[in-house]
């Protein structure tokens, strides 16, 4: 079983919808949680990162971490066609050797105009 499981998708929503992207994990040592966005044929880019539990908001994006359930989410409000991409969750533990992250396999999102 993988340490990080991500909802596989694909996900297709109309423009303006609220999108929820989710990951679960099994390693209780994970303390840092990241979300990356990857456009087709491009490298992943870091969207948001959070430490431990709680919420973090950045514009239309909200990252939520529930460590008790080992569950993280990324919410996108008022989704736009430009949000169409693959979203990757990633996690790492404090003091992890070389800061290595464990990635989910990604969820592909399409926002239709």
Partner 1 sequence: NAGVTQTPKFRVLKTGQSMTLLCAQDMNHEYMYWYRQDPGMGLRLIHYSVGEGTTAKGEVPDGYNVSRLKKQNFLLGLESAAPSQTSVYFCASSYRRSGNGYTFGSGTRLTVV
Which parts of this chain interact with partner 1 (CB under 8 A)? Answer: 31-32, 34, 36, 41-46, 49, 51, 88, 90, 92-101, 103-106
H-run or E-run covering 26? none
Contacts of 68 (CB under 8 A, 6+ apart): 53
CB of 51 to partner 1, least distance (A): 6
Cross-strand partners of 111: 13
User: Considering only CA atoms, which of 27, 41, 12, 86 is closest in space to residue 74?
Assistant: 86
Q: Least distance to partner 1 from the beta carbon of 90, Å? A: 8
Give whichever of 45 and 66 is closer to partner 1, judged by the CB atom: 45
The distance of closest approach from Cβ of residue 68 to partner 1 in the complex, given in angstroms and rounded to an integer, is: 19
């Amino acid at each position: 079983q993988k340490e990080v499981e991500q909802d596989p998708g694909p996900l297709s929503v109309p423009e303006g919808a609220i999108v929820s992207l989710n990951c679960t994990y099994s390693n209780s040592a994970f303390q840092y949680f990241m979300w990356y966005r990857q456009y087709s044929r491009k490298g992943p880019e870091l969207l948001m990162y959070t430490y431990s539990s709680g919420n973090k908001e950045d514009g239309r994006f909200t990252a939520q971490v529930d460590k008790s359930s080992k569950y993280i989410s990324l919410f996108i409000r008022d989704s736009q066609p430009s949000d169409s991409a693959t979203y990757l969750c990633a996690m790492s533990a404090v003091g992890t050797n070389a800061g290595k992250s464990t990635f989910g396999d990604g969820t592909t999102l399409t926002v239709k105009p």
